[in-house]
Structure 1
Amino acid sequence: MLFKHLPDEIFQALSGSNRALIEAVLHDLADVFYDHAEDPIKDKSTIIESIEDTLHKLDTLAWHDDQKESFDSPKTIHDYALRIYHRLVNTGWLVEEQELYRVSVLMTPQISMLLRSLVEIGRHGKRNYGATVLSILSNLEAVAKQPKERGVTLRQSAEASREFSAHLNQILLGIRSLQRELFASRDPKAIVAGFFDLFVEGILIADYKTIKTSNNPFRFRRQILELTQDFLANPDTMGLVAQCYVDQQLITMAEAQAMVEKDCRDIIQTFSNIEQRLERIDEYRYRLEKRAADTARYMDSSRPGMANKVAGIITDVAKYNHLPILKEVVGARFVGMASAAQPTKRREPPPPRVMTPAEVSADAIKVRDQQRRFHEARQVTIPKMQSYLEKQMSSGNNKHILDFTIESVEDFVCFDHLRYIGSLGVSAKKLEDAFEIHFTNQYLDVHEFVECREFNVIRRSKA
């Protein structure tokens, strides 16, 4: 049976009139017993002090005697703590062990698991699945590289996939129930408050906003599906992983093979239909947001008392099975044609487009290469100018402007910039130290190519 490992009186503490106090105490005791760095067996005084700390945080204290007990009604915080402690011991939540004069308190494994589950249900906070998907991918990659040694991690990936799939179902069912609850409400304030408190803070995934982006947590889905399908298609890998299951869990080979196949198919099923499930969640989310946005739009106004007036009108109109005919509503100031705002249309995603690589012709590639080489040749660099000068001045230390040769675009660019060496900046200091240029006032036509002032280039002496 499901409850055969639990005491019969386990839920009596949570069903009486004092269940609010008991619930607050158990919630804090969960942190005390779950501390991984401490001994799970606690002193009785430590537990009572923890209960007193919890009671100090509560606003009011009131004890209801549901049944006749030998204790008097508590009057101080310590009395309340003792009464709650004995209630937890009597109902089986806490177990006392006495060694001589020392009383220790502990929780049985079954009670600890029950309390942990109840705390998780109570928190029901946001979850971040980016790390979960990454852990599944890393485990599958480890199995692919070392199936015999790391094959047991396939089991962990399957458990994480099943837990993720179950949480998606919880989100979908939670949004459906919240939608029915909010749509049935006639109180605008309750609709807006319920949307933010129950949906935004409780149900929505922490990284939900990244699902539609390139950095979404499910961008590794294709790699996960490929690795898992390769496991099923490769009998050798399946055999090594199954042998790892046999060694770790002490089962037969047939049972291990069936377990490996089931784990792989669960992973494939989870990540294959994830888009359809996210689309359904997004559809319900859109309806909730639209209802909350419409309600907030009619409640929001800069006029004093406008929100209360509109809320009262909506509440009064909701009492009628058939809406009354309002003949003079258009002439009213606070409700008129301007208040009938159109709801925003839902933006549909663009249709899928088949991406085909564009083929570039050989002539276009040739023209592009020619243009690139031409632009590179036009670039003025100090190494180019130094190489040009060294080549031209190899025959002597003094050279006239008409003795320079121009054989290419690079030569023309270097020759044209010889006149501006002094204005090329610090990088041209090396050329100024090696060569000196003397200008005259006469203009010459150099090789019928360019007209410029006459100059002589003289190599400076190293001494």
Structure 2
Amino acid sequence: MLFSHLPDEIFQALTGSNREIIEFVLRDLSEIFYDHAEDPIKEKSVIIESIEDSLHRLDSLSWQDEDKDFESPKTIHEFALRIYHRLVKTGWLVEEQELYRVTVLMTPQVSMLLRSLVEISRHGKRNYGATVLSILSNLESVSQHPAERGITLRQAAEASREFSAHLNQILLGIRSLQRELFASREPKDIVAGFFDLFVEGILIADYKTIKTSNNPFRFRRQILELCQSFLSDPGLLQQISGGYADQQLIPLDKAKAQVERDCRDILQTFNSIEQRLERIDEYRYRLEKRAADTARYMDSSRPGLANKIAGIISDVAKFDVPPVLKTMTQVRVVGVESAAQPGRRREPPPPRVIQQVQVSADAIALRDRQRRFHEARQVTVAKLQSYLERQMADAQSKHILDFTIESVEDFVCFDHLRYIGSLGVSAKRVERSFDVVFTKQYLNVHEFVECREFNVVRRSQR
């Protein structure tokens, strides 16, 4: 039975005259009991205070007396107590008492029910890119470690089934919304319904990326190849089935059947993805066209005239002989001024064969020379220490004119010897080995650089 694990009175709180207040309070309580960082068992005072906070946020508070034996609540605290006892009585909350301490919790079944109802009311958008990437990541993990992580194939299959079900929900939601909007004759209702129900509730979060190169389904081929490899390789299938059997404590043949079913579900979902997206796109185009035409009519002096003309034509079609319209002389019923022409649907561009561009050898050589030049100009502590060790050799001190400059790296290191003290913490190990002693005289070193005279002295190691 569907409701065998729930209290019999669970829905009574949502059927009375105060159900809107109860729904508002339950939505806030769900956030308290879903907090993963806190204890799921709450103090009674905390729950009552939370109910009071929810009631304070309500614009109007009107409590309908359903029980004539009690007086109507006069204060917010009395309102909160009445709602709290109502939730306890109907099974939404469970009280537990230890001596003088009263705690409140939700049973797992009630918590799952409340979570599902909140998700249905929110009906938030889905991000397809994250879903497809999670499926691909799980399949790659199974491919690399079939025995240890084969059970993650089950998670990929579940995500694929939820993904497929969400596509069906979008398709059915757009169809029902299309019927509602097409049946409406009020332009404001059509435009408001399009933005509130479709754009905010049904449209996919990353829908715009579906037609781009960075679309969420660019990994579809890899997903299909991985699933087909699982089914075609007997050894790999045996290892994954063994992981299923070990994790779920089921026979090997049953585990193998589950693996095959999960792989086929993933294959079926991603093989039919293009056809389903085309159908969704077709219904989306009709809705957008309807909303655009309606918005255009709202800007004109005769809004909704296209619907009126369609109604007139439908009424005229019922007669065997068309009636004579005596009151519409010198009036253009159907024309550019009476009904705007809808824009044509833009067709996607034809597929283009991608060809790899060959880079010339000269460009590659120039890029390598530029990279080596930039690397030579970079100053690192390792380069400085190597340059000093090479120049100092076994000498205890060395004058500025005795240093040699044979390359770009040598020039950069020589130029930065004067600034070792300001190169940061990483240069401290160079300062522990060498000391730069300056004088007040300026010298021209090898006609490269003019700077103060200095001697590099090797520090004694203690």
SS of the counterpart of 1:82? helix
Amino acid at match of 2:315: H
Change (3 A) 1:255 1:341: same
Please give the per-residue CA displacement for 1:207-243, whole angstroms capped at 9, x wherever unaligned: 0000000001110000000011000001111111111
> What is the total number of aligned residue pairs between the two structures?
357
Structure 1 residue 300: deviation in Å? 1.3
- Is structure 2 residue 314 aligned with structure 1 residue 300? no
Q: 1:225 maps to which residue?
A: 224
Q: Is the 8 A contact 1:242 1:260 kept in 2?
A: yes
Q: 2:239 maps to which residue?
A: 240
Structure 1 residue 179: deviation in Å? 0.3
Q: Separation in 2 of the partners of 1:296 and 1:181? A: 17
Change (3 A) 1:331 1:220: closer
Please give the per-residue CA displacement for 1:328-378, whole angstroms capped at 9, x wherever unaligned: 57489xx9743532110011224446x496999xxxx9xx99xx79xx9xx
Change (3 A) 1:221 1:96: same
Q: Is the 8 A contact 1:89 1:96 kept in 2?
A: yes
- Is structure 2 residue 59 aligned with structure 1 residue 59? yes
Structure 1 residue 135: deviation in Å? 1.1
Structure 1 residue 79: deviation in Å? 1.0
Q: 1:327 maps to which residue?
A: 328
SS of the counterpart of 2:14? coil
SS of the counterpart of 1:98? strand
Q: 1:157 maps to which residue?
A: 156
Unaligned runs of 5+ in 2: 317-322, 367-446, 448-462
Q: Separation in 1 of the partners of 2:355 and 2:49? A: 71
Structure 1 residue 57: deviation in Å? 0.7
1:406-425 → structure 2 map (5 Å cutoff): none
- Is structure 2 residue 257 aligned with structure 1 residue 258? yes
Q: 1:347 maps to which residue?
A: 346
Q: 1:12 maps to which residue?
A: 12
Q: 2:182 maps to which residue?
A: 183
Q: 2:147 maps to which residue?
A: 148
Q: Is the 8 A contact 1:238 1:257 kept in 2?
A: yes
Q: 1:116 maps to which residue?
A: 115
Q: Is the 8 A contact 1:329 1:336 kept in 2?
A: no
Q: 1:138 maps to which residue?
A: 137
Q: 2:24 maps to which residue?
A: 24
Q: Separation in 1 of the partners of 2:294 and 2:151? A: 52
Q: TM-score, normalised by structure 2?
A: 0.72
Q: Is the 8 A contact 2:332 2:338 kept in 1?
A: no
Q: Is the 8 A contact 1:187 1:315 kept in 2?
A: no
Q: Separation in 2 of the partners of 1:106 and 1:269? A: 42
Q: Separation in 2 of the partners of 1:331 and 1:185? A: 25
Large movers: runs of 4+ above 2 Å: 66-69, 313-332, 335-341, 349-353, 355-360
Amino acid at match of 2:216: P
Structure 1 residue 318: deviation in Å? 8.0
Change (3 A) 1:315 1:81: farther
SS of the counterpart of 2:211? coil
1:418-457 → structure 2 map (5 Å cutoff): none
Structure 1 residue 20: deviation in Å? 0.1
Q: 1:452 maps to which residue?
A: none
Unaligned runs of 5+ in 1: 377-461
Q: Separation in 2 of the partners of 1:349 and 1:98? A: 66
Amino acid at match of 1:327: M
Change (3 A) 1:359 1:239: same
Q: Separation in 2 of the partners of 1:294 and 1:141? A: 47
Please give the per-residue CA displacement for 1:33-52, whole angstroms capped at 9, x wherever unaligned: 00000100001110011111
Amino acid at match of 1:310: P
SS of the counterpart of 1:322? helix
Q: Is the 8 A contact 2:306 2:339 kept in 1?
A: no
Structure 1 residue 75: deviation in Å? 1.3
Q: 1:3 maps to which residue?
A: 3
Q: 1:279 maps to which residue?
A: 278
Percent identical: 73
Structure 1 residue 67: deviation in Å? 3.4
Amino acid at match of 2:246: D
Q: Is the 8 A contact 1:40 1:106 kept in 2?
A: yes
Aligned-pair Cα RMSD in Å: 2.8
Q: Separation in 1 of the partners of 2:356 and 2:44? A: 77
Change (3 A) 1:357 1:126: closer
Change (3 A) 1:264 1:283: same
Q: Separation in 2 of the partners of 1:161 and 1:359? A: 37
Q: Is the 8 A contact 1:298 1:339 kept in 2?
A: no
Q: Separation in 2 of the partners of 1:329 and 1:24? A: 58
Q: Separation in 1 of the partners of 2:105 and 2:351? A: 59
Q: Separation in 1 of the partners of 2:255 and 2:331? A: 74
Q: Is the 8 A contact 2:18 2:64 kept in 1?
A: yes
Change (3 A) 1:356 1:196: closer
Structure 1 residue 296: deviation in Å? 0.5
Change (3 A) 1:209 1:91: same
Q: Separation in 2 of the partners of 1:348 and 1:163? A: 30
